Structure 1
Amino acid sequence: MDHLFEKVAYLKGLADGLNIKESSKEGKLLMSFIDTLEDFADAIVELSDEQNDLSEYVEALDEDLMDVEDEIFEEDEDEDYDDEDIDFAEVECPYCSEEIYVDEDLLDGEDELEVECPKCHRTITVMEEEHYHDGCCGHHHDEYDDEIDQED
């Protein structure tokens, strides 16, 4: 930023070297321009200093936030999440054949559970390791499959 002050000083030197009188109209105008340029240079230096201070402050906040995130997520990482602890019932959507996985714990104590197919968005009624669906054929698929197996 020193280069701005050097340029303003150079312009002042040129004005002095040209023997421009500050009492003349042109001299007043030229000196007003130079004074204004000097004010601009001061403002730019001040803004630059404030911007540097803010950058340092933001960096400090970022480091503090990283420490907080590390502390929070470290707790999550310490907890034992084992996918093998969760049992899923696999259900096939009768409408679009999408395989849907339902947490078996949700089925415990429930006669039936209604879930929405993520692919076709139709409602499927799920019963422990069996499923019904509304409006398609009206029968229980596992029983129907057992009846077909017995007929064969």
Structure 2
Amino acid sequence: MNHLFENVAYLKGLAEGLEVKESSKEGKLLLGILDTLEEMAEAINEIQEDQEDLEDYVEALDDDLAEIEEDLDLDDDSECDDDIDFMEVECPKCQEVIYLDEDILYDDDAEVLCPECHEIIEFMEEDFCGDDCCCGHDHEDKE
């Protein structure tokens, strides 16, 4: 922004060379305009410096955020899904509500004991999956 300061200095030099005096109405106007231009050039220079500082700060924040995302592995293409889905199940004997890992419900060999009455809770896939099921498990008819 040095060119603004240079232009204002040049115009002030022209005004001095033309011997513009503050005693005339026109002289007051021209010198006032030149002073205002100088103040505006200083303000613009300060704004530009602040803008450059902000750009550096935002770039540093962006770099820090990228590192955090990398550390947390927030990549949507992650091959490993650590989310565990739970299903709410009610014991048919004592009506105690328990929460089970969804994978247990589809494991034919798994036995689930009610923590309240200690009876075995039996499941059928139809209890949890309808025709438009989207749970991700294979529901082909087993004959």
Normalising by the residue count of structure 2, what TM-score does the alignment of the two structures yield? Answer: 0.59
Query: Offset at 1:5?
Result: 0.3
2:129 alignment partner, SS class: strand
Indicate whether 1:30 and 2:30 are aligned.
yes
- Residue 140 of structure 2 aligns with an amino acid whose one-letter code is E
Q: What is the deviation of 1:114?
A: 3.1
Distance in 2, Cα, partners of 1:128 & 1:30: 87
In structure 2, do the counterparts of structure 1 residues 52 and 80 end up closer, same or farther at CA, with 3 Å as the change threshold?
closer
Counterpart of 1:61, as a letter, is L
Q: Does 1:114 align with 2:119?
A: no
Distance 2:130 2:44 in 1: 63
Secondary structure class of the residue paired with 1:114: coil
% identical aligned pairs: 51
Show the counterpart of 1:6.
Answer: 6
State whether residues 8 and 34 of structure 1, in contact with CA within 8 Å, keep that contact through their aligned partners in structure 2.
yes
1:129 Cα shift?
A: 3.0
Structure 1 stretches lacking a partner, 5+ long: 83-102, 119-126, 131-141, 144-152
What does residue 70 of structure 1 align with? 70
Larger strand share, 1 or 2: 1
User: Structure 2: where are the runs of 5+ without partners?
Assistant: 82-101, 108-121
Map residues 47-66 of structure 1 onto 2, 5 A cutoff.
47-66=47-66
CA drift at 1:107 = 3.5
User: Between Structure 1 and Structure 2, which shows a larger proportion of helix residues?
Assistant: 1
Cα distance in 2 for partners of 1:9, 1:116 equals: 82
- The Cα shift of 1:6 comes to 0.4
- CA separation in 2, counterparts of 1:106 and 1:58? 49
* Matched pairs, number: 103
- In 1, Cα distance between equivalents of 2:33 and 2:65: 47
Q: Return the alpha-carbon distance in structure 1 between the equivalents of residues 139 and 103 of structure 2.
A: 8
Give the Cα–Cα distance (whole angstroms) in 1 for the partners of residues 21 and 131 of structure 2: 88
> In the aligned structure 1, how far is the partner of 2:72 from the partner of 2:103?
30
Query: In the TM superposition, what is the alpha-carbon distance from 1:62 to its structure 2 partner?
Result: 1.0
